[in-house]
A and B are shown apart, each in its own frame.
Chain A
Amino acid sequence: MKRAFPILAILTAGLLSYGLYGALVQAPTEQTMGDVQRIFYYHVPSAWTAFCLFFVNLVASIVYLWQRNPKADALALASAEVGVVFCTVVLVTGPIWARPVWGIWWTWDLRLTLTLVLWLIYVSYLMLRRFSSSGQTPVMAAVLAVLGALDVPLVYFSIWFFRTQHPQPVIGGGGSIDPRMLHVLLINWLAFMCFAVLVCWSRYHLEILRRQVDETQALESLLAAGRPR
Chain B
Amino acid sequence: MSTPAGLTRATLVKDLRLEWRSKDAINSMLFFALLVVVIFSFSFDPTAEESRRIAGGLVWVAFLFAAVVALNQTWARELRNQVLDAYRVSPAPANSLFLAKVLGNFIFVSVLEALMTPLFVVFYNLRAIGPAYQLLVVAALGTWALVVNGTFFAAMSVRTRNREMMLPLLLFPITIPALLAMVEATSSILTGEFSAKFWIVLLAVYDVVFTTACLLFFEIVLHGE
* A117-154 to B contact mask, C-beta < 8 Å, 1/0: 10011011001100111011001100110111011001
A155 at the binding interface (Cβ < 8 Å): yes
- List the one stretch of B32-40, B101-109, B126-134, B176-184 in contact with chain A: B176-184
Pick from B172, B178, B202, B217: contact of A146, CB under 8 Å: B217
* B114-149 to A contact mask, C-beta < 8 Å, 1/0: 000000000000000000000000000000000000
B interface residue count range (under 10 / 10 to 19 / 20 to 34 / 35 or more)? 20 to 34
- Cβ A154 vs Cβ B205 within 8 A: yes
Q: Smallest distance from the beta carbon of A86 to chain B beta carbons, Å?
A: 18
Pick from B173, B202, B217: contact of A157, CB under 8 Å: B202
- Extra inter-chain contacts (18) besides given A121-B174, A147-B174, A158-B176, CB under 8 Å: A65-B220, A117-B173, A123-B173, A124-B169, A127-B169, A131-B160, A131-B166, A136-B225, A144-B170, A146-B217, A147-B210, A147-B213, A147-B217, A154-B178, A157-B202, A161-B198, A161-B199, A162-B180
Pick from B170, B209, B210: contact of A128, CB under 8 Å: B170
Q: List chain A residues, Cβ under 8 A from B173.
A: 117, 120-121, 123-124, 148
Residue of B nearest to A118 (CB): B173
B16 at the binding interface (Cβ < 8 Å): no
Can you spell out 19 A-B residue pairs with CB atoms less than 8 angstroms apart? A120-B176, A121-B174, A127-B169, A128-B156, A128-B160, A132-B160, A133-B160, A135-B224, A135-B225, A139-B224, A143-B220, A146-B213, A150-B209, A154-B206, A154-B209, A158-B181, A159-B177, A161-B198, A161-B202
A159 to B180, CA, bound (A): 8
Chain B positions near chain A (C-beta within 8 angstroms):
156, 159-162, 166, 169-170, 172-174, 176-178, 180-181, 184, 194, 198-199, 202, 205-206, 209-210, 213, 217, 220-221, 224-225
A65 to B198, CA, bound (A): 34
- Cβ B159 vs Cβ A132 within 8 A: yes
Chain A positions near chain B (C-beta within 8 angstroms):
65, 117, 120-121, 123-124, 127-128, 131-133, 135-136, 139-140, 143-144, 146-148, 150-151, 154-155, 157-159, 161-162, 165
Q: List chain B residues, Cβ under 8 A from A155.
A: 176-177
Q: Smallest distance from the beta carbon of B202 to chain A beta carbons, Å?
A: 6
Q: List chain B residues, Cβ under 8 A from A136.
A: 159, 224-225
The 6 closest A-B pairs by CB, nearest first: A136-B224, A120-B173, A158-B177, A154-B177, A132-B160, A121-B173
